[in-house]
C-alpha cells in the first residue's frame, strides 16, 4: 500500500501544480456591450448616454409613452372606443371599466414606469459621486433627471393614488417600500421640481426642445400645484411661462403637431430619423373597420360643425354603411421627418391658467385664455361676462376638444375638477372608485407592505 499512497500523493501534487494558475486561467474579458457602472459617471459623454437612455426609456417603455397614456385613458374615459376583435383582453377590460388587479395593461404601466424611476435614481446617485464632471454639467444632469423622475411619479400618483416614492437604487429597501400618501407625494414632487427648476436654465440645451429646461420643470410644477388646489401659486408659474417670450402661440391648426412649433414646451424625439411617432401609429386604421381605437360618438358630437379641429384633427373611415372616426393629430405613419411626440405645449399652459384663474373667481381674466384656442379653431369667443361655473364647464369642454387623445388629459381634468361622475352618462360600468386604478396584484403579493389595495378592487 506504500506504493499506492506515494502514487496518489504524486498525482495530486502534479494536478494541484497545474491548478495553481487556475485563478489566472479563469480571468475573462469584460463583455463588449457593457460598461462598468463606476466608469459611466467618470465621463461626460457616457453620463449623457445614461440620460439619453432614460429619455428613450420614458418614450418607449413607461406609462407616458405615446402609445400608452393617450389611447388607454382615452378608452378608459369617453374619448375613444376600443374595437378589439376578441373581448377577453386587458385593454378591453379598461375600456369597459372592468379592470381587475391582475390586468396586464395596468401592471405594465406600473412596472415599466418604476423601471425608469430606477434608471433615474441610478443617474442621480452616479452624478452625486461623479468626480470628473464639471459642476455646471452636473447640475444640468441632476436637474433633468429630477424632472424626469418627478414626471414619472406624478403620473403614477395620478393613476394609483398613494404610491411608493423610491429615492435610491437599493433593491433591498425598495422591495419593501411602503406607500407614501398622495398628498405627501405631491409635496415631495413640489420640492423635487423646485430643485430641478433651480438647477436648470431657461435656454434649451437643444434647439428642438427635446430636453427638459427650467420652464418644463415649472410647467410640471404648476400641474402639481394645481392638484394641490394651490391656484394662486400655479397662476404665478403659468403666467411666467406664457409671458417669458420663449413660447409663442401657433395660429395654424395644421402646425400644432409639427416639431418646429414655437408653442412646444417639451417633446420627445422618436428613436431614429423617419420613425413615426407612436401616436401616429396607434390610432391609425384605413379602409376597414377599426380593430383598435376609434373616436367615440360622444366625443365626435362634442365638436360643433364649425370647429376646424373636427376636420383637421379627426378623419373618417367609411366601410359600407358604417363610418368610423379616428384621431388624426399626428399624421405621418411613414417617413416621418416633421413630427415629435409633444408632452407639454403652450395651449395647455393657457387652459391651466384659465382654470387657475377661474378657481380664484378671476373669470374675466381667465376667459381670454380659453378663447385663444376656441378662436383658432373657428369657434366664437366666450363673453367675459360668463359665470364662474359656466367658465369651469367651458374649460373642461375646451380641454376635451383641444387635447383629445393626448396624454390622457381628459381623465386628469375631470378628476381635478371632481367631475368624473359625468362619465356615468356614457360609460355604464363607471363607478366612483374608478378614479384610481388597482395596484397590480403581482406587486401586492411580492411586497405585502403595499397593502391595502385601492378601494373597490
Q: How far is the CB of 67 from another protein (least distance, A)?
A: 12
Q: Please report whether residue 437 would count as binding another protein according to CB under 8 A.
A: no
Q: Please report whether residue 451 would count as binding another protein according to CB under 8 A.
A: no
Q: How far is the CB of 440 from another protein (least distance, A)?
A: 7
| CA 14 vs CA 2, 3, 20: distances in Å | 18, 16, 10
**Cα-flanking dihedrals φ and ψ of residue 80, to 5°?**
-125, 150
Judged by CB under 8 A, the chain residues 330 through 349 that form the site for another protein are 333-335
Q: Please report whether residue 357 would count as binding another protein according to CB under 8 A.
A: no
Q: Please report whether residue 92 would count as binding another protein according to CB under 8 A.
A: yes
Q: Please report whether residue 121 would count as binding another protein according to CB under 8 A.
A: yes
Judged by CB under 8 A, the chain residues 271 through 310 that form the site for another protein are 271-275, 281, 284-289, 291
59 or 345, CB closer to another protein?
A: 59
Q: Please report whether residue 452 would count as binding another protein according to CB under 8 A.
A: no
Q: How far is the CB of 413 from another protein (least distance, A)?
A: 27
164 or 366, CB closer to another protein?
A: 164
Q: Considering CB under 8 A, how many residues would be counted as binding another protein?
A: 104
* Torsion sign over Cα 185, 110, 55, 79: negative
Q: Please report whether residue 244 would count as binding another protein according to CB under 8 A.
A: no
Q: Tell me if 78 sits within 8 A of 97, measured CB to CB.
A: no
Q: Tell me if 456 sits within 8 A of 99, measured CB to CB.
A: no
**Cα-flanking dihedrals φ and ψ of residue 268, to 5°?**
-105, 135
Q: What is the SS3 string spanning 259-277?
A: CCCCCEEEEECCCCCECCC
Q: How far is the CB of 403 from another protein (least distance, A)?
A: 23
Segment lying near another protein (by CB under 8 A), choices 66-74, 196-204, 215-223, 329-337: 329-337
Q: Please report whether residue 428 would count as binding another protein according to CB under 8 A.
A: no
Q: Which of 202, 101, 100 is nearest to 143 (CA)?
A: 202
93 or 413, CB closer to another protein?
A: 93
Q: Which of 121, 99, 98, 97 is nearest to 108 (CA)?
A: 99
DSSP 421: G
Judged by CB under 8 A, the chain residues 54 through 83 that form the site for another protein are 54-57, 59-60, 83
Distance CA 217, CA 205 (A): 14
Judged by CB under 8 A, the chain residues 358 through 417 that form the site for another protein are none
Please write down the long-range contacts of 435-440, taking CB distance under 8 Å and 24 or more positions apart. Answer: 436/159, 436/160, 436/161, 437/99, 437/106, 437/109, 437/159, 437/160, 438/99, 438/100, 438/101, 438/103, 438/106, 439/101, 439/110, 439/160, 440/101, 440/102, 440/103, 440/106, 440/107, 440/110, 440/111
Q: Tell me if 42 sits within 8 A of 131, measured CB to CB.
A: yes
Q: How far is the CB of 189 from another protein (least distance, A)?
A: 16
Beta bridge partners of 79: none
Q: Please report whether residue 266 would count as binding another protein according to CB under 8 A.
A: no
176 or 229, CB closer to another protein?
A: 176
Q: How far is the CB of 3 from another protein (least distance, A)?
A: 7
Query: Can you tell me which of 100, 134, 232, 384 binds another protein, judged by CB under 8 A?
Result: 100
Q: How far is the CB of 115 from another protein (least distance, A)?
A: 6
Judged by CB under 8 A, the chain residues 11 through 50 that form the site for another protein are 11-12, 14-16, 18-19, 22-23, 25-38, 40, 46, 48-50
| CA 136 vs CA 44, 127, 140, 201, 203: distances in Å | 11, 12, 6, 10, 14
Distance CA 141, CA 360 (A): 37
Q: Please report whether residue 229 would count as binding another protein according to CB under 8 A.
A: no
Q: Please report whether residue 89 would count as binding another protein according to CB under 8 A.
A: yes
Segment lying near another protein (by CB under 8 A), choices 70-78, 119-127, 233-241, 295-303: 119-127
Judged by CB under 8 A, the chain residues 165 through 204 that form the site for another protein are 166, 169, 171, 174-175, 177
Q: Where are the alpha helices (DSSP H) in 288-339?
A: 297-302, 308-312
Q: Please report whether residue 4 would count as binding another protein according to CB under 8 A.
A: yes
Alpha-carbon Rg for the chain in angstroms: 26
Q: Please report whether residue 322 would count as binding another protein according to CB under 8 A.
A: yes
What the block records as the C-alpha cell of 264 is 412646444
Segment lying near another protein (by CB under 8 A), choices 117-125, 230-238, 255-263, 343-351: 117-125
Q: Tell me if 241 sits within 8 A of 264, measured CB to CB.
A: no
Q: How far is the CB of 22 from another protein (least distance, A)?
A: 5
Amino acid at each position: 500500500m506504500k506504493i499506492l499512497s506515494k502514487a496518489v500523493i504524486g498525482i495530486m501534487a502534479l494536478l494541484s501544480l497545474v491548478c495553481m494558475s487556475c485563478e489566472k486561467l479563469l480571468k475573462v474579458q469584460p463583455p463588449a456591450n457593457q460598461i462598468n457602472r463606476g466608469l459611466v459617471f467618470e465621463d461626460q459623454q457616457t453620463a449623457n448616454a445614461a440620460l439619453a437612455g432614460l429619455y428613450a426609456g420614458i418614450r418607449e417603455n413607461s406609462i407616458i409613452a405615446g402609445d400608452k397614456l393617450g389611447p388607454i385613458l382615452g378608452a378608459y374615459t369617453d374619448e375613444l372606443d376600443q374595437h378589439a376583435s376578441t373581448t377577453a383582453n386587458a385593454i378591453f377590460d379598461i375600456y369597459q371599466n372592468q379592470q381587475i388587479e391582475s390586468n396586464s395593461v395596468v401592471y405594465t404601466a406600473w412596472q415599466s414606469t418604476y423601471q425608469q424611476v430606477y434608471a433615474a435614481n441610478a443617474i442621480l446617485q452616479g452624478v452625486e459621486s461623479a468626480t470628473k464632471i464639471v459642476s455646471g454639467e452636473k447640475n444640468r444632469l441632476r436637474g433633468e433627471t429630477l424632472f424626469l423622475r418627478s414626471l414619472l411619479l406624478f403620473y403614477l400618483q395620478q393613476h394609483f393614488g398613494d404610491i411608493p416614492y423610491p429615492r435610491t437604487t437599493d433593491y433591498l429597501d425598495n422591495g419593501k417600500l411602503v406607500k407614501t400618501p398622495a398628498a405627501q407625494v405631491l409635496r415631495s414632487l413640489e420640492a423635487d421640481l423646485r430643485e430641478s427648476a433651480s438647477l436648470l436654465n431657461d435656454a434649451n440645451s437643444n434647439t428642438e426642445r427635446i430636453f427638459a429646461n427650467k420652464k418644463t420643470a415649472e410647467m410640471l410644477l404648476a400641474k402639481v400645484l394645481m392638484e394641490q388646489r394651490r391656484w394662486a401659486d400655479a397662476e404665478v408659474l403659468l403666467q411666467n411661462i406664457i409671458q417669458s417670450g420663449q413660447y409663442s402661440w401657433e395660429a395654424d391648426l395644421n402646425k400644432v403637431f409639427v416639431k418646429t412649433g414655437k408653442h412646444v414646451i417639451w417633446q420627445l424625439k422618436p428613436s431614429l430619423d423617419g420613425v413615426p411617432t407612436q401616436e401616429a401609429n396607434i390610432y391609425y386604421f384605413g379602409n376597414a373597420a377599426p380593430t383598435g381605437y376609434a373616436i367615440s360618438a360622444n366625443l365626435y358630437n362634442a365638436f360643433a360643425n364649425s370647429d376646424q379641429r373636427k376636420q383637421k384633427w379627426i378623419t373618417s373611415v367609411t366601410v359600407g354603411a358604417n363610418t368610423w372616426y379616428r384621431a388624426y393629430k399626428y399624421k405621418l405613419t411613414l417617413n416621418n421627418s416633421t413630427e415629435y411626440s409633444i408632452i407639454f405645449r403652450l395651449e395647455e399652459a393657457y387652459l391651466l391658467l384659465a382654470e387657475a384663474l377661474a378657481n380664484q373667481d378671476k373669470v374675466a381674466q381667465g376667459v381670454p385664455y380659453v378663447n385663444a384656442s376656441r378662436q383658432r379653431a373657428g369657434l366664437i369667443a366666450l363673453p367675459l361676462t360668463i359665470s364662474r361655473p359656466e367658465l369651469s364647464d367651458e374649460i373642461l369642454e375646451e380641454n376635451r376638444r383641444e387635447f383629445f387623445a393626448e396624454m390622457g388629459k381628459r381623465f386628469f381634468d375631470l378628476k381635478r375638477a371632481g367631475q368624473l361622475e359625468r362619465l356615468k352618462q356614457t360609460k355604464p360600468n363607471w363607478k366612483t372608485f374608478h378614479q384610481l386604478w388597482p395596484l397590480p396584484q403581482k406587486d401586492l403579493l411580492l411586497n405585502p407592505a403595499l397593502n391595502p389595495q385601492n378601494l373597490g378592487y
